[in-house]
Structure 1
Amino acid sequence: MFAMLRLMGIGFIVLSVIYICLSFYSRSVRRGKLEAQWDDEGMTGDRDAWIDQGLQDYDGSLRRKLILGVYVVPVTLIMVLIYFMNFH
């Protein structure tokens, strides 16, 4: 029982680090795309405010929520693996 709790604790920490890294990477890619769009279209006005608004829109997007799959997919695979190894 202690081994399983240790596995879950370490797994949660590792998955959290991966999630944080993916979130920062995805946000930086989105920021780069917004900056490139601003430059390509030759927009006028407050660039930083426009980029901040685009990032706020990104925070509520489906793509941002899909990054939570970092937690769901590995846990599901481990549960399926444990089930098949013990009951089949």
Structure 2
Amino acid sequence: MSGAVRLFLGLLVVQTIAYVWLSIYSRRVRRLKLEAHWERKQIVGDKEAFVARGLRAYDKSFRRKLILGVYLVPWAAILTLIYVVNYM
């Protein structure tokens, strides 16, 4: 049992590292896209305010919430495998 606990804790640590990395990467990509849009459209006004508004909208978006799949998908796969091996 302790081996399984260590395995699950290790998986949780790896998932947390992946979640943090993906969150930072995704936010950075969004920032770069907003800045590129600003430059391409030659929008008049405060660039930093435009980017900040875009990032606030991104924080509320469904795409941002999809990153939580880093936690959900592996656990669902593990539980499915356990069920299939033991009960089918």
Relative to the length of structure 1, the TM-score reads 0.94
Q: Match of 2:35?
A: 35
Other structure's SS at 1:84 match: helix
In angstroms, what is the RMSD of aligned CA positions? 0.9
User: 2:8 & 2:53 partners in 1: Cα distance?
Assistant: 38
Q: Does 2:16 match 1:16?
A: yes
Deviations 1:15-73 (A, max 9, x none): 01011111111111101110011001101111011101110110010000011011000
Relative to the length of structure 2, the TM-score reads 0.94
Q: Alignment length, in residue pairs? A: 88
State, as a whole percentage, how many aligned pairs show the same letter: 48
Q: Match of 1:48?
A: 48
Counterpart code for 1:34 = L
Counterpart code for 1:41 = K
Structure 2 unaligned regions, length at least 5: none
Q: Match of 1:60?
A: 60
Structure 1 unaligned regions, length at least 5: none
Q: Match of 2:5?
A: 5
Deviation, 1:84, is: 1.1
User: 1:86 & 1:16 partners in 2: Cα distance?
Assistant: 29
